[in-house]
Structure 1
Amino acid sequence: MSLRDPPVWNGPSGDPNDVQFGDVVEPISSDDADGFDAVLVGEPYDGAVIGRRGAREGPAALRDALAGVKTHHFGAGAVGSVGDCGDVDVPDGDVGRVQEAVLERTRDLHASDALPVFLGGDNSLTYPNAAPLLPASLGVINFDAHLDCRELRGGPTSGTPYRQLHEAGLDAYACVGARHFETSTTYAEYVAERGGTVVTSEAVGVDPENAAERALDAMGAVAAVYVSVDLDVLDVTAAPGVSAPTPGGVMSRELFEMLRTVAADDRVAGFEVVECAPPLDTDGRTAAAGARAIAHFLSGDDGGRP
């Protein structure tokens, strides 16, 4: 798998007791992925964004923010072993060609024993990130303000990945955090016709734990579950640095709780955080939320609260 060399990680704290992700993430070759619980892969690309661009700078910003996050969770303790394989060398060309090239690399990563964690980059790469898990039965839990199942009119975009996955054989789909007035009736009906589940941001606000359980129930008996976080699922106050920020979204604490619940499912076979656009951000707020989403997911769910 052709990847750019990973960066060197350093925890910024001067206190030796402050163990941070920057102290424990190891730069590795993809050939060494089997020795880690999870491996990070950056995808610096935003050529398919429908709205505002900037997500190609997301992987670097997420790494910088994660480096300073401490590794301890009060319920679960420290995170497991994490490697960083570097960034995908995204080629020039149309979106379809980019997806095909990325797919060649993600196949190798999914073949390892480690959980792949993709750092986006725009949402169009969700398709090559998850597609290697097909044709085995696959479900996707999509934390997102949008359903991203648009028709491919002239080619894929950041709004088409779940249409592409459905056409490739996706068995189950749940969108958690969807916002009213952000999706057309046609696409809502498309998801409903395929047995998909939509959990609105209002439902999350009432009961985040139940929202996560509804998403897991929607997976049925699939063999593998892929989990995607589009950071525009968060309210604009928590994540201004995305392509399409809007009010009325999920709060960061709600997202973290749901991610820990979902991560506990033994079928989880991949995870991504996409649409972090640093040039559009305010005080690094979006990258900080994305980094902590990664930390919470990697800590899993110890079964307790809070």
Structure 2
Amino acid sequence: MKVKIVGVPSYLGANCRGVDMGPSAVRYAGLIKMIRNMGIDVEDAGDVNIPNVESKDLKTEDINYLDEIIEICEDLSNKVEVLIKDNIMPIILGGDHSISIGSVGGLAKAKDNIGLIWIDAHGDFNTHETTCTGNIHGMSLATLVGRGLNKLVEIGGITPKVKEENVVLIGVRDLDRSERDLLLESKVTVFTMDDIDRMGIAEVMQKAIVISSKDTKGVHLSFDMDVLDPLEAPGVGTPVKGGINYREAHLALEMIAEADILTSIELVEVNPILDRYNRTAELAVDLITSALGKRIL
């Protein structure tokens, strides 16, 4: 296995500073060293360029930083496409969750049929018509399955980037009413925190692996650190109480690694400003290595 780290230090999809420092915090927590210690060939490919929005006036729009996020995601999409075609696994560090439009866009260009495991406290299934905030990080999953504003949906030139029936959303516990309705009418499989409580994380992941990998050429993992309980991961962009715990998170990623289905990994929404002694970034490193196959024995 060969992997490359790609940072996307953007807060624009969340419209709130802090998560733009996430890639740096995760690197500082020893990501490269930990992966290298596993015997994996790893290289840091640096960061995607982020437009400087603080030095210019922006027009007021219904969707915040639309043009800038399109630019970021197109750039990321091209980088991911090249890595996948070179048989290199991208590990993409956010930044806010809007960057997934570029991550999955690049994967979809390189492979014509992919699956998606989306582990998150939120649905990210709003569109420009249902959003309460105008923040694109709350629309990213809907965009990937072809729902929403054409300018976003068409990033990377492929729509939909993934079929709804191959998308699994895990750990959700905070949904807007309209977002909930859109998910219910979709073919996306949703496992809420209630499902995890009742079924256990192992059964949920077994089902998720089957659904996401059925008739696909690989699966992208998009992991939002806010899926964890804030007691475990205090330094996240939008914390929601009642999340999964440390061992549930590790088991979920260990099972994905064992299934040998991953093409790419994305970890987002680490916010060092809200963290304690870089604890959340260190946990992020542990989780990435679990997804790459690290085991106790």
TM-score range, shorter chain: 0.7 to 0.9
Provide the TM-score with structure 1 as the length reference. Answer: 0.78
Equivalent residue for 1:214, pick from 207, 212, 220 = 207
Match in the other structure for 1:225 = 219
Question: Match of 2:247?
Answer: 253
Alpha-carbon distance between aligned partners in 1 of 2:119 and 2:95, rounded to the nearest angstrom = 16
Any idea what the Cα deviations from partners look like across 1:62-101, whole Å, max 9, x if unmatched?
01113597569xxxx9342222111122234632232223
Give the unaligned 5+ runs of structure 2. 53-66, 147-158
Q: 3-state SS of the aligned residue for 2:102?
A: helix
Aligned pairs for 1:280-295 within 5 A: 280-295=274-289
Aligned counterpart, 2:13: 48
Q: Is the Cα–Cα contact under 8 Å of residues 95 and 156 in structure 1 kept in the other structure?
A: no
- Contact preservation (8 Å) 2:77, 2:107: no
Asked if the contact 2:172/2:192 (under 8 Å) is kept, the reply is yes
TM-score by length of 2: 0.80
Which of the residues 197, 206, 230 maps onto 2:189? 197
SS of the residue corresponding to residue 142 of structure 1 reads strand
1:81 counterpart (26, 41, 59): 41
Note if 1:278 corresponds to 2:272: yes
Q: Which residue matches 1:298?
A: 292
Asked whether 1:140 is paired with 2:116, we answer yes
1:179-234 Cα distance to aligned partner (Å, 9 max, x none): 1xx10243233233331111122433452211211211222322221101100000
Gaps of 5+ in 1: 1-35
In structure 2, C-alpha distance between the alignment counterparts of 1:79 and 1:200, rounded to whole Å: 35
Please state how far the C-alpha of 1:288 moved relative to its aligned partner.
1.3
The match for 2:62 is none
Alpha carbons of structure 1 residues 105 and 232: separation in structure 2 relative to 1, 3 Å? same
Matched, 1:58 2:22: yes
The aligned amino acid for 1:47 is L
User: Per residue, is there more helix in 1 or in 2?
Assistant: 2
Does the CA contact (< 8 Å) of 2:76 and 2:106 recur in 1? Answer: no
Q: Are the equivalent residues in 2 in contact too, given 1:261–1:300 (CA < 8 A)?
A: no
State the 1:115 CA deviation.
0.9
The answer (yes or no) to whether the contact 1:54–1:278 under 8 Å persists in 2 is yes
- One-letter amino acid of the structure 1 residue matched with residue 201 of structure 2: P
Q: Secondary structure at the match of 1:85?
A: strand
Q: Does the CA-based 8 Å contact 1:80-1:298 persist in structure 2?
A: no
Counterpart in 2 of 1:29? none
User: Which residue pairs with 1:183 in the alignment?
Assistant: 175
Deviation digits for residues 258-300 of structure 1, max 9, x if unmatched? Answer: 0111123333211011000111112212111111111111126
Root-mean-square deviation over aligned CA pairs: 2.5
Contact 2:123 2:175 in 1 (8 A): yes
- Work out which of the residue numbers 143, 149, 165 in structure 2 matches 1:164: 143
- Percent identity over paired residues: 27
2:69 aligned residue: 95
Worse overlay, 81-90 or 243-252: 81-90
Q: How does 1:23-34 map to 2 (within 5 A)?
A: none
**What secondary structure is seen at the aligned counterpart in 1 of 2:264?**
strand
Alignment of 1:228-243 (within 5 A): 228-243=222-237
Instruction: Decide whether aligned partners of structure 1 residues 94 and 280 sit closer, same or farther in structure 2, where only a CA change above 3 A counts.
Output: same
Contact 1:66 1:292 in 2 (8 A): no
Count, aligned residues: 261
**Which stretches of structure 1, 4 residues or more, deviate above 6 A after TM superposition?**
none
Q: Which residue of 1 aligns with 2:100?
A: 126
